[in-house]
Structure 1
Amino acid sequence: MNIKECKIEIRNTIQAYLKKDEFGAYMIPVKHQRPILLMGPPGIGKTAIMEQIARECEIGLVSYTITHHTRQSAIGLPKIEQRSFQGLEYTVTDYTMSEIIASVFEKMENTGLKEGILFLDEINCVSETLAPTMLQFLQNKTFGNHSIPEGWIVVGAGNPPEYNRSVREFDIVTLDRVKRIELIEDYNVWKEYAYIQKLHGSILSYLEIKKNNFYIIEMSVDGKQFVTARGWEDLSQILYAYEVLHLPVTEEVVRGYLQHPKIAKDFANYYELYLKYRQDYQVQDILDGKAELHLKRQLRTAGFDERLSVLSLLLDRLSCDFYESYQMGEYLKRLHATLKEVKEYFANAYMEPEVIMTDIITQKEKELADKKLAGLLDRTQGQVLNKLILKLYYFKEQILLNRLKENDHAFSYIKAEFDAMVEDYQNKITTTSNSLENSFIFLEETFGESQELVVFLTELTGNFYSMKFIGEHGSEHYVKHNQSLLFSDTKQELLNEIEELKQLS
């Protein structure tokens, strides 16, 4: 299954394992909660989906790459103890708690999360001395003399033999005690994730032209050459940073992430073209509805790669606007909920406004620290909470500067500030909506009802942030073209069916 299907299956399994009956006991007894064994190629996102699942289920996550461990760190160190058997004293060997098991208990103590996932990566690549210990763990969920606590689900991940020479095959006894899931790479599914993570537009544009270069692992006379999903994501981060710093992105820079010389060179060349198209085609003018006629003529006669690149530039800019609108909306929702708390405090507490604000700031800072420690914040949630705390500090500062000693006066000031922020948000929505409609108009005037418009529409549909925006604020052109596309597809299906019937008669 692909990474999306895999995530759904693992999440469903974990929810089933953690479901309790009316007596508070797990519906599926712990001994029947099979460890999940996730097998798939490296760099495809196995660790990332475990982090997402833990956040969505609001449970803990302890993650280890097991190849970094020795037998001693996995099962604990031996120690000598005295024990009595049938009235006689004996010296016996016991073991300290496994570092891995101890980490689970520490996670529980530090976060208050009593349930979670113990994720062990590269589980089938352990050393010869550790292999029996791992088999025992998968079969009995114990390291040495210590078991993982109830409510913690074991998920192991490994690479198939074709990707790693040191892979060890599990025997039937072990495989009969795990829930095995086979994972394969899938560009179209990964692209959905890439939009959410806001990967660089040049990467999405390049892979749309050359999908076969998304994931490759092959042997050559110079050794292994490979490109993985992880490589593209990390390359995206460095591209953004280099652009901010105005540093050149050379082929050597790209090779650090795409460890396949031919693909690295190909992308580096494409990236230069992408920058050229960004300069030649004034995207902001298109979004503002001010595109000049010669640009439309130039694009109409351009090659396929160039047309697709310009589409990607448009989508990339729109995607940034959609994301900013989404983030502003989430921030204002969270701020509004917090200001309701502030209003209640001001109405009922007999303290000065700045003292009340200090108490609320302390609460929010603790919430941020706790959620960060527990791993329950994604990037957007973390940014929203950080911005919220900064805004609360700003409100407190303004209360002090303006010497607002009365609670009702202080809240009136805060409300006025919030109303201005809501107005800014509405202006952002209006600007983004206009940019989207102007993009459709530009493409209609340049290409008419063509394949380029279909590509544009399809990419909008596959982007989480664009669909969130269109779903909440609408788009006349999107609805019109989407209905037209659906009608066209239905008409084509009917024509195909008629043609089949003709052939049968």
Structure 2
Amino acid sequence: NNSVKEFDIAMWDRLKKIEVEADYEIWKEFAVNTNVHPVVTSYLSIKSNNFYSISTTVDGKSFVTARGWDDLSQMIILYEMNNIEVDYNLIAQYIQDEMIAKDFAHYYQLFHKYQADYKVDSIIDGTSTEDIKLRAKNAKFDERLSLISLIMSQLDDTISKTVELEDSIRKAMGEIKQIQSMSNTKEDYIQNITAKTVELKAELNEKESGNALSSEYQAEVYRAIALLNTIVEALKLDDSQESPANLVKGALQKALAELKKEDETAQSALNHTFEFFEEVFAEGQEMLILVTEMTINKGISKYIYSHGCKKYYEHNKQLLFEDKQNELMEKIDAINLLEIGD
């Protein structure tokens, strides 16, 4: 009801006061790892001043906030999934500053034009044409940033499949390892694996009730349960004399073979991306931006940490060297200033 009462000094003296400043670079780490639509992060990387804004006009308050961008992202994803047009009328419901909403609506159309023109899939799989490379090489910096966002989004989708599959297989194998010690017959395996899936579902329900369930862990456990159910079905359908332990091992090996294919695809995508940047953006700062984006992306950085990527480490080493050099130059400048002061 717009009723406001100022705190008196006695009240302020009993409170902790924290000044909060809107910082896009900090929010971007959250955005990248919570699947905020790349058109939003791409736009704000170019125009970070439009991340947060509150002003008073003759028509009332105009404002843009982090929550508005996040909510808009969710609606864009939903609209695109259902092939509904995203236009200014939708954007203005969340970005309540007319100038910024119109600017973003224009950029949204441009972003999808780049998506079609550059054929990002071909960059990831190493089949991009010379025309695409030439266009990227001659593009303005804003267009290059948009292209990096598109490539990162595609990379994230590709590598996330590998990371998610690996996590679920690791989870399932851990459960199977425990079950093996208490199972001898096929019936034992079926009974114990089935009991384990019931236990895992109960664990999820308990965590959800206590608001302690993350979407990542939930997805990991459900994928592990699906794999355990596949093993149970294989045991039930088998009528050979094969030992149940070997049947379980065979089912897990099939899952590991699928993981190997996903891993090869992920490695190939990373290598082709670096090759494209080495050829097209040899002298710019685009490689620095790419490596930084990979580093803050939890899924990609987790994959690289566990599986490696030679080109990432080469360019990241160069980045760390440049950071160290800049730090030394700052210290030298500080010393020079002190000498001037003396």
TM-score by length of 2: 0.89
1:255-404 correspondence runs (5 A) = 255-347=92-184, 352-402=188-238
Match 1:415 to one of 249, 260, 283 = 249
Distance 1:297 1:397, change over 3 A: same
CA contact (8 A) 2:120 2:150 kept: yes
Q: Which amino acid aligns with 1:212?
A: N
1:42-441 correspondence runs (5 A) = 165-347=2-184, 352-402=188-238, 409-441=243-275
| Per-residue deviation, 1:174 | 4.1
| Per-residue deviation, 1:497 | 5.6
Measure, in 2, the Cα distance between the counterparts of 1:494 and 1:362: 58
Measure, in 2, the Cα distance between the counterparts of 1:411 and 1:172: 72
SS at match of 1:345: coil
> When you count helix as a share of all residues, which structure comes out higher?
2
Distance 1:357 1:292, change over 3 A: same
* Structure 1 residues not aligned, in runs of 5+: 1-126, 128-164
Measure, in 2, the Cα distance between the counterparts of 1:453 and 1:360: 46
Quick check: 216-225 or 178-187, which moved more?
Answer: 178-187
Measure, in 2, the Cα distance between the counterparts of 1:471 and 1:168: 52
Q: Deviations over 1:295-324 (max 9, x none)?
A: 111111122221111111111111223333
Distance 1:411 1:207, change over 3 A: same
Distance 1:425 1:166, change over 3 A: farther
Match 2:307 to one of 467, 473, 494 = 473
Measure, in 1, the Cα distance between the counterparts of 2:186 and 2:316: 57
Q: Residue 456 of structure 1 corresponds to which residue in structure 2?
A: 290
Distance 1:490 1:392, change over 3 A: closer
CA contact (8 A) 1:187 1:214 kept: yes
Q: Which amino acid aligns with 2:293?
A: E
Distance 1:239 1:363, change over 3 A: same
Q: Which amino acid aligns with 1:392?
A: L
Identical-pair percentage:
34
Question: How many equivalent pairs are there?
Answer: 339
Measure, in 1, the Cα distance between the counterparts of 2:268 and 2:38: 21
Measure, in 1, the Cα distance between the counterparts of 2:327 and 2:191: 68
Q: Which amino acid aligns with 1:383?
A: A
| Per-residue deviation, 1:373 | 0.9
Q: Which amino acid aligns with 1:301?
A: N
Q: Which has the higher contact order (CA 8 A, sep 6+)?
A: 2
| Per-residue deviation, 1:217 | 2.0
CA contact (8 A) 1:192 1:464 kept: no
Q: Which amino acid aligns with 1:376?
A: A
Distance 1:409 1:211, change over 3 A: same
Distance 1:167 1:440, change over 3 A: farther
Measure, in 2, the Cα distance between the counterparts of 1:379 and 1:313: 24
Measure, in 2, the Cα distance between the counterparts of 1:344 and 1:207: 54
| Per-residue deviation, 1:487 | 2.9
SS at match of 2:183: helix
| Per-residue deviation, 1:287 | 1.2
Measure, in 1, the Cα distance between the counterparts of 2:59 and 2:294: 41
Measure, in 2, the Cα distance between the counterparts of 1:491 and 1:357: 56
CA contact (8 A) 1:286 1:442 kept: yes
SS at match of 2:182: helix
Q: Which amino acid aligns with 2:89?
A: E
CA contact (8 A) 1:215 1:229 kept: yes
SS at match of 1:246: coil
Distance 1:389 1:497, change over 3 A: closer
Measure, in 1, the Cα distance between the counterparts of 2:203 and 2:27: 32
* Structure 2 residues not aligned, in runs of 5+: none
Q: Which amino acid aligns with 2:175?
A: T
| Per-residue deviation, 1:462 | 2.3
Q: Deviations over 1:395-429 (max 9, x none)?
A: 3333333358x8x8334222211112122223222
Measure, in 2, the Cα distance between the counterparts of 1:350 and 1:385: 24
Measure, in 2, the Cα distance between the counterparts of 1:481 and 1:226: 40
Q: Which amino acid aligns with 1:191?
A: K
Measure, in 2, the Cα distance between the counterparts of 1:418 and 1:496: 55
Q: Deviations over 1:132-189 (max 9, x none)?
A: xxxxxxxxxxxxxxxxxxxxxxxxxxxxxxxxx5343344444444444443322111
SS at match of 2:3: coil
Distance 1:304 1:362, change over 3 A: same
| Per-residue deviation, 1:351 | 5.1
| Per-residue deviation, 1:456 | 1.5
Higher gyration radius (CA)? 1
